[in-house]
Amino acid sequence: MRFLLRRVPQLVVVLFGVSIVTFGLVRLTGDPITVLLGETATQEAIAQMRSELALDRPVHVQYARFIRNALRGDFGDSLRYRQPALTLFVERLPATLELAGAALLLALIIGLPIGITAALRPQSAFDGLVRGLALTGQAIPGFYLGLVAIILFGAQLRLLPTGGRGSLAHLILPAATLAAYQVAIVARFARGAMLEVLGEDYIRTAQAKGLRRLRVIVQHALRNALIPVVTIIALQVGTLLSGAVVTETVFSWPGVGRLAVQAIYTRDFPIVQVTVMVTAALFVAINLLTDLLYVLLDPRVRVGD
Partner 1 sequence: MLAIDRRIAVGTVAPVVRAATPGRRALRAFLRDRFALAGCVLLAVLAVAALWPVAWLPHPPELSDLDARLIPPAAFRGGTPVHPLGTDNLGRDLLSRMMHGARFSLFVATSAVTIGAVLGIAAGVVAGYRGGLADVVLMRLVDVQLAFPLLLLIIATIAVLGRGLAVLIVILGIPVWAHYARIMRASTLSIAAAQYVEAAKALGGSETRLVARHILPNLATPLVILTTFEIARLLLIESAVSFLGLGIQPPTPSWGTMIADGRNHIYEGWWVSTIPGLGIFVAVLAFNFIGDGLRDVLDPKSHARRTII
At its nearest, how many Å lie between partner 1 and the CB of residue 44? 29
How many CA within 13 A on the CB side of residue 48?
6
At its nearest, how many Å lie between partner 1 and the CB of residue 51? 24
Q: Smallest Cα–Cα separation from 274: which of 11, 25, 12?
A: 25
Write the DSSP assignment of 202-232 as a string of letters. Answer: HHHHHHHTT--HHHIIIIIIIHHHHHHHHHH
Of 140 and 227, which has the nearer Cβ to partner 1? Answer: 140
Of 14 and 45, which has the nearer Cβ to partner 1? Answer: 14
* Residues at the contact surface with partner 1, assessed by CB under 8 A: 10, 13-14, 17-18, 21, 25-26, 28-29, 119-120, 122-123, 131, 135-136, 138-144, 147-148, 150-151, 155, 192, 195-196, 198-199, 203, 207, 213, 216, 238-239, 241-243, 245-246, 249, 257, 260-261, 264-265, 267, 272, 275-276, 279-281, 283-284
Distance CA 254, CA 78 (A): 17
Of 232 and 264, which has the nearer Cβ to partner 1? Answer: 264
Contact 122, 131 (CB under 8 A): no
Of 226 and 246, which has the nearer Cβ to partner 1? Answer: 246
3-state secondary structure 231-287: HHHHHHHHHHHHHHHHHHHHCCCCCHHHHHHHHHHCCCHHHHHHHHHHHHHHHHHHH
At its nearest, how many Å lie between partner 1 and the CB of residue 261? 6
At its nearest, how many Å lie between partner 1 and the CB of residue 123? 8
Of 21 and 109, which has the nearer Cβ to partner 1? Answer: 21
At its nearest, how many Å lie between partner 1 and the CB of residue 93? 14
Contact 130, 190 (CB under 8 A): no
